[in-house]
Structure 1
């Protein structure tokens, strides 16, 4: 590569690098500086406050636990759906993809308000459960962890499904036919052939769903209310109600580092596998 080619390549990537620095690295750096800001200089008091308070540790644990549950449910629904989409005709697959993507065309706020109507005490779902005699008169799913999980699964399921679909469609059909010829049943073929080959898509989708779920604010806040706090809602409250920006930044750093720790092993494994 000549010096001219290198200069041209540098000029081509320069706008993207500048945008990345301004939109990502500068805000992250400001957040890191603010998280250790104190009256008498840098301090770790904000992190110590978070890690020593059972309330905030419970908020962190709830965020991780709900994100893991949401990710698991999305994987259990997304894998069969992606497998079906990969094995139908091209026309049927197109319509299924449109149906999966269509909710993304609607605002998350609008969809969450729809779930608030369905899950409230007078909503359709509690009404049906009451008519079936499964719950009491005052039963409501609003302001519960179940409501958060239901709403977040509906919001994030397309990301999991499309991530798995991109891998499943590249699996050679002859491998499944060979497994069936060797005596494997349908479920055994899925377990021994399709599922291992789909692992990269499942892992990628799981990471995407987990990170989006852990950092989500609107849906957990509207469906969970003030009783059930997640970390993003706690950060928002520290900024808007108590005006404790350094403590909010410390919480954001903890969330950011936690997600980064989750992503690094996958990035290394993906780099070794795909170069």
Structure 2
């Protein structure tokens, strides 16, 4: 038996499992999205793409996902750098602090933000006491609330992805840059940031895809006023029982995420390997 055949036999169980749990549901969703009473049809896609309401939901989903990803990267990069450059014991505690929220249900964390962001919650009351906002100021059922809640949920994925890359960067490269006259910020910008790009890309992919498909946090913090595509799919399934239209929305979400991610991967791959 050749090595190639042996390798194929070894990966065959994994490929079968992947086909069963991933590709088969996708093909079923694709088939459902084009199903109609008289045979295959594209009317569900035409209904979505021809309605400004659903196009607005799609745009809001992509826009919020991009904003959330950007904020996670802006916070996650310095956080990961600090964790990578402190002592081993302090790094362990920082990693535990970052991971600890992942051990709590996202529903519980979101309810915590609902208490903090409600009209009588700690954050709005503090802003009112400081005179920064008006008395009728509210954060709940706004896009800001969704961004705050989702950043807290997704920040660990971004920080840990970047941390894994920064820990492999030789500190002597920073010392060499400082010796050549670079300031600390210039060293970060010209040495650490370019070398950390694979981790930033990986964290951004995780943050964007998880944010675009998130349902619980946007639904609880945004309410019915700020609807995202996952909530629209859920409504089509549970309220109107329109499964083919829900499948069409899921396909559009899947394709929309790919349209954003594939060029991003290709551009960063060509530039940084």
Check whether TM > 0.5.
yes
Task: Look up the match of 1:191.
Answer: 189
- In 1, the alpha carbon distance for the partners of 2:15 and 2:115 equals 44
Alignment match, 2:179:
181
- Deviation digits for residues 222-272 of structure 1, max 9, x if unmatched? 000000000100100011111111111111001111222333345556877
Match of 2:39 in 1: 41
1:75 maps to 73
Mapped partners of 2:10, 2:261: distance in 1:
28
Residues 25 and 158 of structure 1: CA distance in aligned 2, closer, same or farther (over 3 Å): same
**1:68-92 C-alpha deviation (Å, 9 max, x unpaired):** 1101100000000001011001111
Q: Equivalent of 1:63, from 38, 61, 64?
A: 61
Aligned residues: 273
Q: Secondary structure at the match of 1:127?
A: helix
Deviates further, 255-264 or 70-79 = 255-264
User: Superposed, which structure 2 residues align to 1:218-233 within 5 Å?
Assistant: 218-233=216-231
Please tell me whether residue 204 in structure 1 is matched to residue 176 in structure 2. no
- 3-state DSSP of counterpart to 2:182: coil
**Residue of 103, 108, 121 corresponding to 2:106:** 108
> Which secondary structure state, in structure 2, belongs to the residue aligned with residue 38 of structure 1?
coil
Matched, 1:258 2:256: yes
- CA distance 1:197–1:271, shift in 2 (3 Å): closer
Matches within 5 A, 1:138-153: 138-153=136-151
Cα distance in 2 for residues equivalent to 1:125 and 1:274: 41
- Seen in structure 2, the aligned counterparts of structure 1 residues 16 and 130 have a Cα distance that, compared at 3 Å, is same
d(CA) in 2 for partners of 1:238 and 1:199? 39
Distance of 1:259 and 1:58 partners within structure 2: 16
Counterpart in the other structure of 1:95: 93
Alpha-carbon distance between aligned partners in 2 of 1:21 and 1:181, rounded to the nearest angstrom: 53
Q: Tell me the CA shift for residue 27 of structure 1.
A: 0.6
- Cα offset, 1:12, TM superposition: 3.5
**1:29 equivalent in structure 2:** 27
| Secondary structure, counterpart of 1:27 in structure 2 | helix
Q: Give the equivalent residue in structure 1 for 2:239.
A: 241
Aligned equivalents of 1:270, 1:71: Cα separation in 2: 16
Task: Report SS of the residue matched to 1:242.
Answer: coil
**2:165 matched to which residue of 1?**
167
Matched residue, 2:125: 127
Cα distance in structure 2, aligned partners of 1:237 and 1:271: 38
Structure 1 stretch displaced more, 46-55 or 260-269? 260-269
CA drift at 1:8: 5.0
TM-score (norm 1): 0.94
